[in-house]
Amino acid sequence: MPGWLDEEHNRIDDDFLRNGKRKYLQQLTPRLQRMTGLLASNGSWLTYGDAVGMYGFMLSLKGNASMFGFSRIGTVAGQWLEVWGWINEISVGAPDWGSLCSRSIAESQAIAAELNREKELCERELDIDEQNGLMKNALHAFVQSRLLIIDTDDTLREYLVNRLLMDGCTAIDEASDIESAKRLLREHHYDLILLDLMMYPQSGYEIFEFLQSDPVLKWVPLIVMSVRADVQDKVRCFFLGAVDFVTKPFAYEELVARIYGILHRTQIFEKVAFRDPLTGVYNRRYFDHQIQTELQRISRHPVPISLVFMDIDRFKAINDTYGHHIGDLVLQGLAGLLQNNLRSSDLLARLGGEEFVVVMPNTSGADAHKVTEYILSLARQEAIAHHEGEALYITFSAGVAEWRAGMTLQMWVRQADASMYLAKQQGRNQVVLSVDEMNGMAGRDGHAERCKKIVVAAADPFLRSILISRLQLPNVDIAGAANGEEACQLLSAASPADLCIVDELMTLDGFGMLEKLQDDRSPQKTKVLMLSSRAKEIKLASRIQIGFDDFMIKPFSMVDLEQRVKKLLDI
């Protein structure tokens, strides 16, 4: 069983036991209150049936309390039974009932008070245990996480790194400027970012823009730290995706509690939303999202990437012979074998049933074929599960396809899937490397689908970030430019842009940029969407056809903007 499942089962067991303890104490409360009320009457309202009922209650308490970890309550209940032991030796209406009852009531007053004190003490201990359980879960997420601290203040940055390391965090990177932070974000995966908003000379808002332009990084939780308790800053940061905002100076203990909580919630969300509950690997939802992300990355930075589809051979026979619970063990065993022999950068997901998929970045088809062949050889040799002392072995059929320039996602998936079924048809227990069919496909389709490109030219980093964030569309690559010169460089790159969104407030004026675009525009026409607050000027410009294809007057609706963009891109 994968390690994370062991930990999850232990956590569930602890939670179940705590809930059982809580319910037991809750059920105990009204019965103790009734018993205390009967004793307070000094026996005037106590009947033989009441006495027998209290004795039975204490007998149950002595036997069951220890099972829930309340041994002290069980011990006190035993003292009660000693005082009232005579109840089993007399019958209703016995002549000495009154004297025995009065004596036992007097001796029981202190025992009843002790029982109530023990119950209250157990409730407090349970509260502490539950709080510790929450802290343990949060600390577990904290220890396993990698953090990035971006701050120009060397003293504060060093202090935070040292304190977080002392508190158990094992992986922390730091950056003193925006460019270093961007480099680290490209090179590593982070679970949380701490960002100083008021950096100099560059603004922390540039990090927001960078994160929002990346389909993976935009989901990384970010805590903003700022010396300004400005409401507008807070509103902007939350709109741009920040999950928290702390004002300097702050108490370290408060900051680390916020970090604990965010990491713990993120971990729970990931398991619920993106993990297959049986095997612990990613599910189809995450695969569908991540595969789009990988394709967008390689469209910007071309590197080899391969896709592997695999299906367990004769899995139905395993379920029919041994039962579905053994089939579940086989699925968990294969997932564990794959996890132990793939890189951390590889993406493993269960698509459903007995079918798994692996995305291997920076890996050619030939290399992916070798890795999959090696894992298949291990599956043949190592027992994947055991049933009543019998070792169970499996094989699988797999198809491998390397992505080629111009391929759509559908083509790539179809190649890997077809190769897997070819492996099945050829006798199973093998890995088939797909033959590149792109030439044939291009001939049939006329052309391969190209990723659309948008350039957002806006001087205001807040506006630029918002636009980039809202225009994350399928099969669309988007880049930002802080001024007209940067925009012109992006537009004159080897890969032409399909659309340029121009804000008028730039160092190279928006209208001036349009004139430059008319001179430099490539044979493939780049469409232009103009954003302006000058309604009269923009309408006049449209009449003299200065060079834009559409315009929007500020303020405008983001929904309307998205519709305009889709229309201009024909998507």
CATH number, domain with residue 427: 3.30.70.270
- pLDDT score at 511: 57
Go through 362-379 and write b for each residue having 16 or more CB atoms within 10 A of its CB, e for each that does not: ebebeebbebbeebbeeb
> Same structural domain for residues 159 and 231?
yes
Mean pLDDT of the chain: 82
The proportion of the chain whose per-residue pLDDT surpasses 90, expressed as a percent, equals: 33
> Same structural domain for residues 93 and 165?
no
Other CB atoms within 10 Å distance of the CB of residue 533: 13
Q: Quick check: 459 and 483 in contact, CB under 8 A?
A: yes
Segment 55-70 shows an average pLDDT of: 81
Q: Quick check: 354 and 312 in contact, CB under 8 A?
A: yes
Other CB atoms within 10 Å distance of the CB of residue 417: 19
Is 532 contained in some domain?
yes
Q: Is the pLDDT of residue 523 over 60?
A: no
Active site residue 89: no
Q: Quick check: 198 and 227 in contact, CB under 8 A?
A: yes
Cis before 555? omega within 30: yes
> Same structural domain for residues 502 and 353?
no
DSSP 8-state secondary structure symbol assigned to residue 306: E
DSSP 8-state secondary structure symbol assigned to residue 48: H
Highest-confidence segment of 97-101, 103-107, 222-226, 445-449 = 222-226
C-alpha span between 285 and 275 (Å, rounded): 9
Q: Is the pLDDT of residue 397 over 90?
A: yes
> Same structural domain for residues 304 and 438?
yes
The last residue of one of the domains, among 135, 168, 183, is 135
Is 536 contained in some domain?
yes
Range of weakest confidence among 180-189, 308-317, 395-404: 180-189
Q: Is the pLDDT of residue 360 over 90?
A: yes
Q: Is the pLDDT of residue 490 over 60?
A: yes
* CATH at 510: 3.40.50.2300
Per DSSP, the three-state class of 110 is: helix
Query: Hey, what are 56's tokens?
Result: 């039975």
The last residue of one of the domains, among 445, 474, 508, is 445
| Tens-place pLDDT, residues 200-215 | 778 889 999 899 887 6
Is 279 contained in some domain?
no
> Same structural domain for residues 241 and 164?
yes
Q: Is the pLDDT of residue 571 over 90?
A: no
- pLDDT score at 443: 39
Task: Please give the span between the terminal C-alpha atoms of the chain, in angstroms, as a whole number.
Answer: 46
Cα→Cα distances 358→63, 294, 344, 349, 530, Å: 54, 12, 12, 6, 43
Among 332, 355, 342, residue whose Cα is nearest residue 280: 332
> Same structural domain for residues 427 and 459?
no
Domains of the chain: total = 4
Highest-confidence segment of 92-101, 291-300, 392-401 = 392-401
Write out the residue range of the structural domain in which residue 464 sits. Answer: 452-569
The last residue of one of the domains, among 393, 419, 445, is 445
DSSP 8-state secondary structure symbol assigned to residue 243: S
> Same structural domain for residues 270 and 228?
yes
Query: Hey, what are 9's tokens?
Result: 């089962």
Segment 417-431 shows an average pLDDT of: 93
Query: Hey, what are 444's tokens?
Result: 């049939």
Higher pLDDT, 315 or 144: 315
Is 351 contained in some domain?
yes
Is 241 contained in some domain?
yes
> Same structural domain for residues 48 and 180?
no
Q: Which of 118, 354, 402, 504 is catalytic?
A: 354
Is 554 contained in some domain?
yes
- pLDDT score at 493: 66
Segment 457-484 shows an average pLDDT of: 79
C-alpha span between 176 and 150 (Å, rounded): 6
Range of weakest confidence among 309-313, 424-428, 508-512: 508-512
| Tens-place pLDDT, residues 304-344 | 999 999 999 999 999 999 999 999 999 999 999 999 999 98
> Same structural domain for residues 496 and 439?
no
> Same structural domain for residues 301 and 437?
yes
> Same structural domain for residues 415 and 456?
no
Amino acid at 450: R
> Same structural domain for residues 435 and 294?
yes
Is 320 contained in some domain?
yes
Is 112 contained in some domain?
yes
- pLDDT score at 4: 41
Q: Taken in order 545, 546, 549, 551, is the CA torsion positive or negative? A: negative
